[in-house]
C-alpha cells in the first residue's frame, strides 16, 4: 500500500509547533471545492480512505473526546443508500425529479464520507465545541484529500437534517451529520467564486 502521509507520531513525541511549507501555503491559498457534478472516478481506495480519515481526525478536540465518527459510503453501498433515500421521499409523495436526484445523490462521487458529530456528555465540554471539532474534521478531510490529489466538496443537503435519513445512516442519540464529504477526481475545473471581504469582517479591539 502506498503510504501518502507520514505515520502518526508516537504519544508524547516532541512535535514542532510550526512547519513552514510553501506547498502547504499554496494549497491553503488556492484550495477550492469541486462542483459536485464534476467528480468522477477514480477515487481513493479503501486503504487510502482509511489513511485519509486518520489524518482528517487530527484536529483540535477539547478534552480529547473524539466527538465524531465516520460512515464511509463506497462501491454499491452508495447506490443502495441513495435508493433508500428515494424511498423515503416517495413515501412522502415527493416529486419524481426529487426522488431521482436523491437516488443519484451518493453516486455523484466515487467515495462519500459522512462525518458524524457525536458529542460526548462529560458534564463540562460544551456540545458547541464538540460540533466545531466535527466541522474541523470535515475541512481537514478535504485538505488531506486535496494534498493527496483528490478533489472534493463538503455537502449537507436535506439528508443531513432528515430524521429518517439519519436513521438509515445509523445515527444515534445526539448525533448529527456534520457533512457528506464527496471525494474523487475532478473532470473539470471549478471557477473561483466571490469570497467574503475579510477586512470588512476584521476589527481590532480597543477598550470601550
64 φψ region: left (φ > 0), alpha (ψ -120 to 50), beta (else): left
* 154 touches ligand FMN (CB under 6 A): yes
Nearer of residues 4 and 32 to ligand FMN, judged by Cβ: 32
User: Given the C-alpha cell 442519540, which residue does it identify?
Assistant: 173
* 33 touches ligand FMN (CB under 6 A): yes
**Out of 129, 157, 162, 164, which residue is the one contacting ligand FMN (CB under 6 A)?**
157
Q: Report the 10 Å Cβ neighbour count for 153.
A: 23
How many residues at the interface with ligand FMN, by CB under 6 A? 9
**Out of 155, 169, 177, 183, which residue is the one contacting ligand FMN (CB under 6 A)?**
155
Enter the C-alpha cell of residue 56. Answer: 482528517
Could you tell me the smallest distance in angstroms from the CB atom of residue 206 to ligand FMN? 31
Q: Interhelix angle for 76-91 vs 96-104, to 10°? A: 160
CA distance 173 to 140: 25
Q: Report the 10 Å Cβ neighbour count for 196.
A: 6
Q: End-to-end alpha-carbon separation of the chain, Å? A: 58
Could you tell me the smallest distance in angstroms from the CB atom of residue 195 to ligand FMN? 8
* 153 touches ligand FMN (CB under 6 A): yes
* 156 touches ligand FMN (CB under 6 A): yes
* 136 touches ligand FMN (CB under 6 A): no
Binding residues vs ligand FMN (CB under 6 A): 32-33, 153-157, 179, 193
Amino acid at each position: 500500500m502506498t503510504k501518502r502521509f507520514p505515520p502518526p507520531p508516537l504519544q508524547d513525541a516532541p512535535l514542532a509547533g510550526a512547519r513552514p511549507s510553501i506547498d502547504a501555503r499554496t494549497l491553503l491559498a488556492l484550495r477550492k471545492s469541486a462542483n459536485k457534478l464534476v467528480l468522477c472516478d477514480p477515487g481513493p481506495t479503501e486503504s487510502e480512505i482509511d489513511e485519509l480519515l486518520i489524518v482528517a481526525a487530527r484536529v483540535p478536540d477539547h478534552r480529547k473526546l473524539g466527538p465524531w465518527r465516520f460512515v464511509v459510503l463506497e462501491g454499491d453501498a452508495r447506490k443502495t443508500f441513495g435508493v433508500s433515500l428515494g424511498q423515503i421521499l416517495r413515501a412522502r409523495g415527493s416529486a419524481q425529479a426529487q426522488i431521482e436526484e436523491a437516488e443519484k445523490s451518493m453516486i455523484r462521487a466515487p467515495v462519500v464520507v459522512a462525518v458524524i458529530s457525536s458529542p460526548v456528555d462529560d458534564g463540562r465540554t460544551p456540545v458547541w465545541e464538540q460540533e466545531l471539532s466535527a466541522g474541523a474534521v470535515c475541512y481537514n478531510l478535504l485538505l488531506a484529500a486535496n494534498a493527496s490529489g483528490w478533489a472534493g466538496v463538503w455537502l449537507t443537503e436535506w439528508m443531513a437534517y432528515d430524521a429518517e435519513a439519519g436513521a438509515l445512516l445509523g445515527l444515534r442519540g445526539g448525533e448529527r451529520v456534520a457533512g457528506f464529504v464527496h471525494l474523487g477526481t475532478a473532470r473539470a475545473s471549478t471557477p473561483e467564486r466571490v469570497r467574503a471581504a475579510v477586512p470588512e469582517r476584521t476589527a481590532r479591539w480597543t477598550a470601550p
